[in-house]
Structures are given as C-alpha cells and as structure tokens.
Amino acid sequence: MGKVVVAALAAGCTVAACVVASVMVRRSVRRRRGWRRVVRVLEELEEGCATPVGRLRQVVDAMAVEMHAGLASEGGSKLKMLLTYVHNLPTGNEKGTYYALDLGGTNFRVLRVQLGGQRSAIIRHDLDRQPIPQNLMTSTSEELFDFIATSLKDFVEREESFSLTSQQERRELGFTFSYPVKQTSTSSGNLIKWTKGFSVEDMVGRDVSECLQQAISQKGLDMRVAVLINDTVGTLALGHYHDEDTVTAVIFGTGTNACYLERADAIIKCQGLITTSGSTVVNLEWGNFWSSHLPRTSYDIDLDADSPNPNDQGFEKMISGMYLGEIVRRVILQMMQESDVLRPFSSKLDVPFILRTQLMAAMHEDDSPNLSEVARILNDTFEIPDVPLNFRKLVVKICDVVTCRAARLAAAGIVGILKKIGRDGSGGIASGKTKGGSQNKMRRTVVAVEGGLYTNYRMFREYLNEAMGQILGEDVAPYVVIRVTEDGSGIGAALLAASHSASSSALDRVST
C-alpha cells in the first residue's frame, strides 16, 4: 500500500515537473520569438531611416532645386521662399534701447536690449521667459495677444523702474513671430498657417503686427512694432552682427526652418524688388520641404496622418524637437504590439506626444553602465517598471536611429542652401576664374544656428556636424563654420528694430 502511494506520488511529481518544464520551455520559446520580433522592428527602422551620403547628396540637390522653384513663382514649390523685406542686416552702429518679443515654440520671451553703437557692444540684455499656457495655443487671437501684451507691459514697467534714465521717446519693438507669414513690409504681414501645435484659427490671414499693436495700445503702453520677423531672420541678424561671413541661419527647436541672404535679382517671382544692398533675406519655411529622396517610414506616415496638419511640414516632422520623441514612442509601441516582452501592456504607450524630445535625449545620452536613466524615464513616462537591461539598450538604439536620421537630413538641408548660393564648393575651392568667367574661390561661410535641439542634444549636434563634413568633403568642410547664436531670434529682432528705425528704408521697396 505504502509503496503504491509512494509510486503514485512520484508519478504525480514527475508529471508536475514535466508540466512546469514544458510551461517554462514554452515561455522561453515565446520570449525568444517575441524578442526576435522586437529586434526585427528595430532592423526595419534602421533600414527605413538609412541616410548614406549618396542619399544625402540627393536631398542636397532636391533642396537647391526646390529653392529655385520657390523663387521662380508663387506656389512653384512646397518651399514658400517668403520675402522678408529685410534687405540690410545690422551694421554694428546701432545705438539705444530696444525691446523684443519672441513668440515661437513652447515659450515666449520678452527682451530689453541696450546697444552701444559698436559691433559686439550689446551692453546688456534682460530677458523674461514664460511658457505659453496650453489653453491659449488654441484660443482666440484676442486672448492670446491680451496675455502677451500684459506680460510685455509688466516687463517694461519692471525694467524701467530699475533704470536710471527715464524713457524719452516712443519705445520700439522687434516682434519675432515664428510661423509662416506673408510679409507686406518689414513691419507687417499676414499669417499663412500655424505650425507646432498652435491653432488660433481667427488669426489665419490676419496682420500679425496689427493684432499685437492693438493689444499694446489697449494696455496703454507707448510702444511701436517696428519690425516683424521670423526667428530665423533674428538669428541671421545677430549672427551677421558678430560675423559678417554669416549668410544663412537655421533653427532646430520645437520647429525647424532656415533663411539666407539672396541676390534680389534671383527672386524671379518678385521682379520689381529694388534694394539698396542688392540682396535680401529669404525665409525658406523649409519645415514644409518634401522630396521623394527623404527616407520615410511607416511611423512618419502614421504620425503625419494623425496630426492636425497632414501632408504639411513633412521635413519638420522628421527633424524637429516637437516630433522626435513622438517617433520613438511610436516605435516602442509597435514593439509592444508585436510581442509580449514587456508585460503588462501600459496604456500610457498609447498617449501621443507623451515622450518629450528632452527625455528622449536624456535616454540617448545615458552613459550609466546599467542605463538607469533609461529605466527611470520609461517608468516615469510610460509607467513600465523594471525594464530589463536588454530592452533599455534597444530603446537607446531607437533614439539613436531617429536622431541620426534627423541630424543628417538637417545637414543635407544646410548644404542645399549653400549649393543654391554657390558656397558648397562644388565649383572648386581654388582661386581663379571658371570657364564662364565667374569667381569660384571658396569663401569662409558661417551658418548661424539656434535652438535647443542643436544646443542641448549633443548627439544631434555631433551627427549633424559629422554629416556636414561627409557631404562637403574634407577640402571644403573647413570653410564652413557652424556658429551658435544664443537668443539670436530675440536679440536679432531688437537689432533689426534699431537698424530699421534708423535706416533709409524708403529706398528698399517693391516697385509695381
């Protein structure tokens, strides 16, 4: 009897052990299969985002071609190539105290800049930075500008209460408004459309300066909107103020864009443009650039389709700070949907834009041996605790692929502009004349850059700089200098307010 019980027990144990073992084997097979799927998602992402130099050169050419098309006719390209009517950049002789208001990405800034009349003599600038309340980004123009004018008035009163000299003349303001605007003069222009999540519908088509000027007057503040500019133009103005070889400026922040100095006679769509300098600043609005050579993945297609502006701002959606974290979230979500390597599934993964690009950068640059920062951010953002180390490594790799593509495409965009203005060295770098008789000596060329994506995200910066070198080649690359202009979009507006209040801008007009 006893033997039978023992035998039955032993048999039972064996069966149980077999069941446990088979469950474990099944689990481990499932885990391995799941892991293989996750790795496949990564490999497909890498293939889809590949940017070999050959492809970058195609993007360079496409950018230059689209620039020509956008200058040839209104609507001739997805690149709007907007006239800014800024024909003269600050000379360095500007003097006095000017204000600037910078409305662009997630923050808005108010500045007071004192200019000493000598190049590099910005005596001081004071700054107030505030986040734009989320509800105002989709409210009415009246509410938005009332809030801005109130903050501006508070700032002016605070600043002037510390100042020893009293304000004698009417205050002059440079207004940096970083959205596509069809300028009608240096100080006025109508909003074409919103980008970067803003959507104050009653503003579209209206004169942006007028809206601000009205709100300022209603607050009883004696101030004139002297110039209305894009942030790229402010950056170019400050870049040029410090270094006359600066010919183009690029923003890599929440959004992305570039402007550059163009010959007035190259702007075919505006034949009558007469400028004292013979050149003028053109705002590309390159966020909307598109080319079949851009490496586009299913994540980009879905992000675009789910966005409030589908088929719009395609280049920006691959490059700028507003979108990079969102692309990474979509890839992680895809991995989770294809396998069960991380269970239970967190519903936070479904929340659009929950992974901000700053956090993505922090994960990408986590150099701790066990990637503890990656684990912390995945837990805080998606509520996924204890992510295993191999998955953390995968997340770092996703960030790397997404940022590398963005930075390399950005570099191709810059070289595209240089190519358009003959500064990419493609005509040779030696001194002397080409067959046609034109000079082809490569000149030192400075690109002014502003924006947190470039200044705060080391890997983005390194990939961009590396790609510039690869596209231009080792003979030409040393002639091209990328220079960060801190707060250029704001200080540049004050500089332009100063130069336009003093300059003989009557000569710079469009003849009809």
DSSP at 95 = E
**Binding residue for ligand BGC (CB under 6 A) from 51, 77, 230, 279?**
230
Residues 6+ apart with CB under 8 A from 156: 99, 112, 171, 221, 223
**Binding residue for ligand BGC (CB under 6 A) from 88, 187, 209, 232?**
232
The window from 109-117, 252-260, 411-419, 466-474 that contacts ligand BGC (CB under 6 A) reads 252-260
Please give the span between the terminal C-alpha atoms of the chain, in angstroms, as a whole number.
114
The window from 57-65, 93-101, 247-255, 380-388 that contacts ligand BGC (CB under 6 A) reads 247-255
Beta carbon nearer to ligand BGC, 137 or 477: 137
Sequence-distant contacts of 89-93: CB under 8 A, at least 24 apart = 89/236, 89/237, 89/240, 89/241, 89/261, 89/281, 89/499, 90/237, 90/240, 90/241, 90/495, 90/496, 90/498, 90/499, 91/119, 91/499, 92/118, 92/119, 92/120, 92/121, 92/241, 93/117, 93/118
Q: What x-and-dash track marks residues 167-206 binding ligand BGC by CB under 6 A?
A: -----------xxx--------------xx----------
**Binding residue for ligand BGC (CB under 6 A) from 102, 172, 300, 316?**
316
Amino acid at 246: T
Q: Is 339 in the site for ligand BGC (CB under 6 A)?
A: no
**Binding residue for ligand BGC (CB under 6 A) from 70, 92, 174, 255?**
255
To the nearest whole angstrom, how small is the minimum distance from the Cβ of residue 180 to ligand BGC? 5
Beta carbon nearer to ligand BGC, 92 or 287: 287
What residue number has its CB nearest to ligand BGC? 255
To the nearest whole angstrom, how small is the minimum distance from the Cβ of residue 313 to ligand BGC? 6
To the nearest whole angstrom, how small is the minimum distance from the Cβ of residue 506 to ligand BGC? 28
The window from 134-142, 249-257, 333-341, 378-386 that contacts ligand BGC (CB under 6 A) reads 249-257
Q: Are 286 and 315 in contact (CB under 8 A)?
A: yes
Residue 410: C-alpha distances to residues 190, 255, 451 (Å): 28, 12, 13
To the nearest whole angstrom, how small is the minimum distance from the Cβ of residue 152 to ligand BGC? 20
To the nearest whole angstrom, how small is the minimum distance from the Cβ of residue 189 to ligand BGC? 11
C-alpha–C-alpha distance, residues 433 and 438, integer Å:
5
The window from 21-29, 212-220, 251-259, 430-438 that contacts ligand BGC (CB under 6 A) reads 251-259
Residue 164: C-alpha distances to residues 117, 161, 167, 221, 291 (Å): 20, 8, 10, 20, 56
C-alpha–C-alpha distance, residues 364 and 459, integer Å:
8
Q: Facing residues of 103 across strands? A: 108, 177
**Binding residue for ligand BGC (CB under 6 A) from 104, 416, 425, 490?**
104
The window from 131-139, 229-237, 353-361, 362-370 that contacts ligand BGC (CB under 6 A) reads 229-237
Of 155, 149, 141, 262, the residue nearest 207 (C-alpha): 141
C-alpha–C-alpha distance, residues 219 and 235, integer Å:
29
Q: Is 70 in the site for ligand BGC (CB under 6 A)?
A: no
Instruction: Give the three-state DSSP class for 316.
Output: helix
Q: Is 78 in the site for ligand BGC (CB under 6 A)?
A: no
Residues that bind ligand BGC (CB under 6 A): 104-105, 178-180, 195-196, 230-232, 251, 253, 255-257, 285, 287, 316
